[in-house]
């Protein structure tokens, strides 16, 4: 029984459930180990290998989520700030939502992985979350999901309806331009050029009027191109010009790894910025400042002088 071809999609499933890439990898591995140990008890007349694996993964995730707090983004915790000089104090006690490094697994474009949707799903009770992903995203039948979760078809349909209602009440999670979309690529290219030039007016011109900037693990966030721009002024005043950025993707969205000038030369990792591009403008930027994010994306923490440009 070859289970390895399923690893990538199991990691994605566990990520949708937990909002943590690191925990998703661990739980996918746990699922594979459980399945391997139980392979002699697998009955192909009752379910396909894939259906069986998702039953194991779903229940592993539900056990892991028992008693856990949800993983939010800063915009899910309170009102935006209008003070560009507010203290940048990390809230290390909050289990923040993490981005997903697309390049680590060959899973293609995953619009259901977009950050806003994953963040909204974290509000759902775990069992509703499991039903929603298994039914709506993975398209298992209600009967299959009932078997996977050890419940009834009626209970699955009820949980799915409640999950849909809760997501609708959470607000518009938005459509996004895919990283390969030419318009999105052009926007991100111009954003990169303006950021590397420390050109705040040019950056602001690339934003929608109500663009959102948030920076986990700092709970602070801003809404509107004016406050977004005022905060960027502060960033360049604090860290100076001479930044270097690398393009990549995360959660099926365009992203930039931002490296700030380091004392003594070279560049130091600063933020992994994940963008929502709509209508040819940047509508949202989630700038992850946790060094663990750079490690998850297999990005170096530091580049010697001149090396970053050659690495792009």
Residue 220's CATH number: 3.10.450.50
Q: How many domains does the chain have?
A: 2
CA–CA dist 191, 204 (Å, integer): 9
- The one-character DSSP state at 274 is E
Write the CA distances from 123 to 71, 170, 192, 196, 301, integer angstroms: 8, 9, 33, 36, 32
Is 64 a member of any domain? yes
CB contact set of 172 (below 8 Å; sequence gap of 6+):
none
The Cα angle at residue 266 between residues 264 and 267, in degrees rounded to 5: 115
Q: What is the CATH number of the domain that holds 14?
A: 1.20.140
Predicted confidence at residue 169, as pLDDT, reads 79
Q: Please, what's the b/e burial string for 168-202 (b: 16 or more CB within 10 A of its CB; e: otherwise)?
A: eebeebeebbbbeeeebbebbeebbebbbebebee
Instruction: Name the token pair of 203.
Output: 């950056």
* Residue ending a domain, choose from 169, 201, 229: 169
Q: What is the mean pLDDT of each run of 10 residues along the chain (312 residues)?
A: 91 96 97 95 92 97 93 95 94 95 78 88 95 95 96 97 89 64 93 98 98 97 98 95 95 96 92 96 97 95 75 57
Q: Which of 95, 101, 54 is nearest to 76 (CA)?
A: 95
CA–CA dist 264, 239 (Å, integer): 13
Predicted confidence at residue 304, as pLDDT, reads 85
Predicted confidence at residue 108, as pLDDT, reads 62
- The helix-helix angle for 153-169 and 142-149 (nearest 10°) equals 100
Is 34 a member of any domain? yes
Alpha-carbon Rg of the chain, whole angstroms? 21
In Å, how far from its chain's centre is CA 33?
26
Q: Are residues 136 and 207 in the same domain?
A: no
Is 176 a member of any domain? no
Q: Are residues 307 and 221 in the same domain?
A: yes
Q: Are residues 114 and 59 in the same domain?
A: yes
Predicted confidence at residue 171, as pLDDT, reads 63
Cite the beta strand spans of the chain per DSSP E: 207-215, 218-223, 244-250, 253-261, 267-278, 281-288, 302-303
Is 130 a member of any domain? yes
Q: Are residues 236 and 157 in the same domain?
A: no
* Residue ending a domain, choose from 123, 138, 169: 169
- The one-character DSSP state at 66 is T
Give start and end residues of each alpha helix (H) in the chain. Answer: 7-18, 21-37, 49-65, 115-121, 126-132, 142-149, 153-169, 182-196, 200-205, 225-239, 291-296, 307-311
Is 200 a member of any domain? yes
Q: Are residues 12 and 145 in the same domain?
A: yes
Q: Are residues 145 and 9 in the same domain?
A: yes
202 in Cβ contact with 217 (< 8 Å): no
Write the CA distances from 254 to 99, 117, 189, 211, 226, integer angstroms: 12, 16, 10, 16, 23
Is 174 a member of any domain? no
Q: Are residues 150 and 12 in the same domain?
A: yes
Q: Which of 184, 175, 173, 176 is nearest to 247 (CA)?
A: 184
Domain hosting residue 230, numbered range: 182-311
CA–CA dist 305, 266 (Å, integer): 4
Instruction: Name the token pair of 244.
Output: 């270097």
211 in Cβ contact with 281 (< 8 Å): yes
Predicted confidence at residue 107, as pLDDT, reads 67
Q: Are residues 193 and 119 in the same domain?
A: no
- Helix H or strand E segment including 262: none
Instruction: Name the token pair of 148.
Output: 């996977």
Q: Are residues 163 and 194 in the same domain?
A: no
* Residue ending a domain, choose from 140, 169, 198: 169
């Amino acid at each position: 029984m070859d289970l390895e071809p399923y690893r990538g999609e199991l990691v994605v499933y566990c990520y949708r459930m937990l909002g943590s890439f690191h925990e998703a990898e661990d739980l996918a591995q746990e699922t594979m180990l459980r399945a391997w140990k139980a392979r002699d008890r697998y009955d192909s007349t009752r379910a396909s290998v894939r259906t069986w694996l998702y039953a194991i993964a779903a229940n592993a995730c539900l056990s892991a989520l028992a008693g856990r707090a949800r993983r939010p983004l800063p915009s899910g915790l309170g009102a935006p700030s209008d003070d560009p000089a507010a203290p940048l104090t990390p809230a290390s006690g909050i289990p923040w939502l993490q981005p997903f490094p697309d390049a680590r697994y060959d899973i293609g474009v995953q619009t259901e992985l977009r950050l806003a949707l994953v963040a909204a799903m974290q509000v759902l009770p775990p069992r509703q979350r499991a039903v929603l992903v298994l039914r709506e995203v993975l398209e298992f039948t209600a009967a299959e999901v009932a078997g996977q979760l050890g419940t009834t078809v009626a209970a699955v349909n009820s949980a799915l309806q409640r999950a849909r209602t809760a997501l609708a009440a959470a607000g518009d999670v938005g459509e996004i331009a895919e990283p390969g979309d030419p318009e999105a690529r052009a926007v991100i290219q111009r954003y990169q050029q303006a950021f590397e030039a420390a050109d705040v007016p040019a950056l602001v011109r690339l934003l929608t009027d109500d663009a959102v900037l948030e920076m986990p693990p700092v709970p602070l966030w801003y809404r509107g191109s004016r406050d977004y721009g005022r905060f960027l002024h502060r960033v360049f005043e604090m860290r100076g010009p001479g930044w270097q950025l690398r393009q990549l993707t995360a959660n099926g969205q365009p992203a930039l790894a931002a490296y700030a000038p380091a004392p003594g030369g070279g560049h130091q990792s600063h933020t992994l910025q994940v963008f929502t591009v709509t209508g040819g403008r940047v509508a949202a930027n989630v700038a992850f400042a946790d060094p663990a994010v750079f490690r998850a994306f297999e990005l170096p923490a530091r580049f010697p002088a001149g090396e970053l440009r050659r690495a792009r």
